Structure 1
Amino acid sequence: MEHGKALGMKALMVLPIMWIVMTLIFDVSFWSTTVLGIILIAAAYALGDMMVFPRTSNMMATLADFGLALIVLWIGLAVIGAESTFLPALISAVVIAAGEWFYHKWLVKNNMATIRESRKLSESH
């Protein structure tokens, strides 16, 4: 897997979502949002894209990404002392999970995901 290209594409998806939701809507600082985004990207890539997605389905990996994003962002917002923690974390996690569905398809299409051969054949239809 070309990690740099995959991480770059993930960052191009996750960071703008977080900047819009957290910074523009919920008034979390740009830098706090960016740091939380980088932490989330690293964790989601390592756990979701490298461990869960290759062993399960796109749906399971997307649900795992949703749960991870919700937890990381909720805790992260509490740690930085944000006024609102759950709602911005929930909205961000939902939108990020929607993007992850397509990101996983992009990984497969570009031969950047190692998945079980039987799954690869069934997902191509």
Structure 2
Amino acid sequence: MDESVNHGKAIIIKSLMVLPVVWIILSLFNGVSFWHSTVLGLVLLLLSYFTGDMFILPKMGNASATIGDLILSLIVLWGGLNLFGYSKALGESILTVVVLCAGEYFYHKWLLRTQFRETRNGQY
């Protein structure tokens, strides 16, 4: 992991993006309990932060990290909702993932610009 990244700030900003989207789309519009959407949001937040934002993003760039986040988000949300008993949750999962990935693209741009330092050979 990159020592130049302020992980506290980065996770707080990501949580301000992920949790409200999950709460609004899943709980408010689709009847998923607030507790279940919060658990799924936190799992997704941590998994996507450490895999997509800290591992894939600096090595492969924004497009790859966003696609990786899309796949991971769909697996976590759809799988998690099914585990919680919401068997008809594919549509809700896809809608949530699309909104999150739009935000992830801009979050990644912010991370690259402010949190990662470019090395002499052009790598992050």
Letter aligned with residue 50 of structure 1: M
Residue matched to 2:42: 38
TM-score, scaled to structure 2: 0.89
Length-normalised TM-score, structure 1: 0.88
Residue matched to 1:123? none
Q: Could you give the per-residue CA deviations for residues 61-84 of structure 1, whole angstroms, max 9, x where no partner exists?
A: 111101100000010000000142
Query: Which residue in the other structure is 1:24 paired with?
Result: 28
Cα separation, 2, equivalents of 1:40 and 1:114: 26
The number of residue pairs the alignment matches comes to: 119
Deviation at 1:115, TM superposition (A): 5.8
Q: Tell me the percent identity.
A: 43
The one-character-per-residue Cα deviations of 1:88-110 (angstroms, maximum 9, x if unpaired) are: 11111111000000001111222
**Match 2:93 to one of 89, 92, 95:** 89
Runs of 5+ unmatched residues, structure 2: none
- Structure 1, unpaired ranges of 5+: 121-125
Report SS of the residue matched to 2:82. Answer: helix
Separation in structure 2 between the aligned mates of residue 57 and residue 96 of structure 1, nearest angstrom: 18
Runs of 4+ in 1 over 6 A off after TM superposition: none
1:53–1:16 CA distance, 2 compared to 1 (3 A): same
Q: Do the aligned partners of 2:18 and 2:100 also contact (CA within 8 Å) in 1?
A: yes
